[in-house]
């Protein structure tokens, strides 16, 4: 978190958008989706300065944008969205983040939450035993380097081929669980070392496994299309590319720092290290980043398979009969090539989403056929003890925000501040007092991720709903949480 407040000018466009007017060497305006209620927090964090900084990058198109969960990040703000022309623009690891394709998948069940509650402790323990969680934790999948190269090329499809899940899971995953263009020749030996033992692991920090209850439906038609109903038990998985993705980003920040000098790029912050999209360095980063994104999809796919097994062990019934189907899986930290209408022309752009979710509207060909009439499912995780949401993408998002919306609540306390304010065992007791069972590899993580460390997720979602860049479908409340 930044330790200073934003000093620049913010102009109110409407109830859900504020503008940072173009000035100096900014190439475009900044636009932040937020509300009067959330505005003081983002100003105190100085994250709007990073929105300004991104607006300086060569080839940026439209606006430098941020979602209502915006907070200070590395280079780009977390919650930042920016699109760049593929011929004149740049690609920046700071615009994707260190946890490449940190993302969320939601699995529905045919179980009513009230029927699951008597078995929840047994089920949570089975899930906790099945899915390795915690800092640096090694997984149950052991691969050699050549097999890891296959993971990087194939993503979730690799996991399904190995027996971790069903073919239909791929249909309900963004990019069908595999981003084209992965190139392992641009991945360092250190990244391979870190990635080899960690496929199928949850990690720590804000990552989690949750059993939730659908407690409110806002859009009946969309909810029915996704197989969601009030009172239903669902499972949410939130994790990313682990140490592999971190290393890919770290390596790229160094190499693209040199590219800034080589291509005489003018950037206001060295954390915005970048290279032209079409340059050898830009292509090398994209290839490695795509590999890390595919690693993350394989990771979540394996975890979901073990969650299904935990249900089967607990209830003595097969996954299919329990209705353990994937609703959807979305990425939060990624750069992609997508086409948009800009000034009346279709243009191919490199869209960076860092702490933001794809929010494609109805009819888009990249949405699974079963959801094409309602728009792409958008999964918004809460933060340990708070609600999570399912939304759908909109046509307005395609016109206004490069098909993007928020990704969660967004931090307001740094992890170090959270550790000073609360104790992990206190957080656990408080949540269990609210009827939320907690299993964690570390009480330190519980303190770092205490609900007070985050913005109000209800308010964040309300902004994107009212702004029309995503639409509320359902809200879920946590029943049991597993943390690393």
pTM strictly above 0.95: yes
Can you give the pLDDT at residue 366? 97
Quick check: 444 and 420 in contact, CB under 8 A?
no
Residue 277's pLDDT band (cuts 50, 70, 90)? very high
How far is the C-alpha of 461 from the C-alpha of 40, rounded, in Å? 17
Rg (the chain; Cα; Å) = 21
- Asked if 413 and 452 count as a contact pair (C-beta separation under 8 A), the reply is yes
Cα 28 to chain center, whole Å? 26
Say if CB 198 and CB 450 are below 8 A apart: no
Longest dimension (CA), the chain: 65
Question: What separation in angstroms does the CA of 442 have from each of 237, 356, 382, 447, 483?
Answer: 18, 28, 19, 9, 8
Determine the Cα–Cα distance for residues 323 and 338; give it in Å rounded to an integer.
Answer: 34
What percent of the chain has a predicted confidence (pLDDT) above 90? 90
pLDDT for the residue numbered 134: 77
Instruction: Output the pLDDT for position 392.
Output: 98
Q: Which residues are CB-neighbours of 281 under 8 A, at least 6 positions away?
A: 255, 256, 258, 259, 262, 275
| pLDDT at residue 60, as a whole number | 98
* 11-483, CATH topology level: tRNA-splicing ligase RtcB (3.90.1860)
| pLDDT tens digits along 211-265 | 999 999 999 999 999 999 999 999 999 999 999 999 999 999 999 999 999 999 9
pLDDT tens sequence across 295-336: 999 999 999 999 999 999 999 999 999 999 999 999 999 999
- Residues 401 and 119: their CA atoms lie apart, in Å, by 43
pLDDT greater than 90 at residue 175: yes
Which uninterrupted H or E stretch holds 49? helix 47-54
Question: What distance in Å separates the CA atoms of residue 62 and residue 245, rounded to the nearest whole number?
Answer: 29
207 annotated active-site: no
From 93, 62, 63, 56, select the one nearest 75 (Cα to Cα).
93
Q: pLDDT tens digit string along 21-55?
A: 999 999 999 999 999 999 999 899 999 999 999 99
Give me the count of residues in the chain. 484
Residue with tokens 């593929």: 86
pLDDT-derived band at 414 (thresholds 50, 70, 90) equals confident
- Residue 78 β-bridge partners: 71
pLDDT over threshold 90, residue 205: no
Distance of CA 288 to the CA centre of its chain: 18
β-pair type (232-239, 103-112) = antiparallel
Q: Which one from 264, 407, 425, 465 is the annotated catalytic residue?
A: 407
Q: Please tell me the chain's helix, strand, coil percentages from 3-state DSSP, rounded to the nearest 5.
A: 40, 25, 35
Q: Picking from 257-266, 283-292, 412-421, which range would have the lowest pLDDT averaged per residue? A: 412-421
State yes or no: pLDDT of 3 exceeds 80.
no
Are the CB atoms for 200 and 140 separated by under 8 Å? Answer: yes
As a whole number of angstroms, the distance between CA 448 and CA 415 comes to 5
- Return all residues near 187 (Cβ < 8 A) that are at least 6 apart: 152, 248, 288, 291
Average pLDDT over residues 130-156: 91
pLDDT digits (tens, 9 = 90+) for 67-124: 999 999 999 999 999 999 999 999 999 999 999 999 999 999 999 999 999 999 999 9
Q: What is the pLDDT of residue 149?
A: 98
């Amino acid at each position: 978190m930044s330790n200073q407040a934003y000093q620049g000018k913010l102009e109110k466009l409407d109830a859900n958008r504020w503008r940072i007017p173009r000035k100096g060497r900014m190439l475009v305006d900044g636009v932040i989706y937020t509300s009067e209620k959330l505005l003081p927090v983002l100003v105190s964090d100085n994250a709007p300065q990073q929105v300004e900084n991104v607006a300086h990058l060569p080839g940026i198109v439209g606006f430098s944008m941020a979602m209502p969960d915006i907070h200070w990040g590395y280079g780009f703000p977390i919650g930042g969205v920016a699109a760049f022309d593929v011929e004149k623009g740049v690609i920046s690891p700071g615009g994707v983040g260190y946890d490449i394709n940190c993302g969320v998948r939601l699995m529905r069940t045919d179980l009513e939450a009230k029927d699951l509650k008597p078995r929840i402790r047994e089920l949570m323990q089975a899930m906790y035993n099945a899915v390795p969680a915690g800092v640096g934790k090694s997984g149950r999948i052991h691969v050699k380097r050549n097999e890891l190269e296959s993971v990087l090329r194939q993503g979730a499809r690799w996991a399904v081929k190995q027996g971790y899940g069903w073919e239909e899971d791929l249909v309900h995953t963004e990019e069908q669980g595999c981003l084209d263009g992965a190139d392992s020749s641009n991945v360092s030996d250190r990244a391979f070392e870190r990635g080899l033992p960690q496929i199928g692991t949850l990690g720590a920090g804000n990552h989690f496994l949750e059993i939730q209850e659908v407690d409110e439906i806002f859009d009946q038609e969309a909810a029915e299309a996704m197989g969601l109903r009030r009172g239903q038990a669902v499972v949410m998985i939130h994790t990313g590319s682990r140490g592999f993705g971190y290393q890919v980003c770290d390596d790229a920040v160094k190499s693209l720092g040199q590219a800034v000098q080589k291509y005489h790029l003018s950037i206001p912050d060295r954390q915005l290290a970048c290279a032209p999209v079409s340059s050898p360095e830009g292509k090398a980063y994209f290839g490695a980043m795509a590999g890390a994104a595919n690693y993350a999809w394989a990771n979540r796919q394996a975890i979901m398979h073990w969650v299904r097994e935990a249900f089967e062990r607990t209830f003595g019934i097969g996954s299919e009969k329990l209705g353990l189907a994937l609703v959807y899986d979305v990425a939060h930290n990624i750069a992609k090539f997508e086409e948009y209408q800009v000034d009346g022309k279709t243009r191919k752009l490199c869209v960076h989403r860092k702490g933001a979710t794809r929010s494609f509207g109805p009819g888009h060909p990249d949405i699974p056929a079963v959801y094409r009439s309602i728009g792409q499912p958008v999964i918004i995780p809460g933060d340990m003890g708070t609600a999570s949401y399912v939304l759908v993408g909109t046509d307005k998002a395609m016109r206004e925000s490069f098909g993007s919306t928020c990704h969660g609540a967004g931090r307001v306390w740094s992890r170090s501040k959270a550790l000073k304010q609360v104790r992990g065992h206190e957080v656990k007791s408080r949540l269990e007092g609210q009827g939320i069972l907690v299993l964690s590899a570390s009480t330190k993580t519980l303190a770092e991720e205490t609900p007070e460390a985050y913005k109000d997720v209800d308010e964040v979602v309300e902004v994107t709903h009212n702004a029309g860049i995503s639409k509320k479908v359902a809200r879920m409340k946590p029943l049991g949480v597993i943390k690393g």
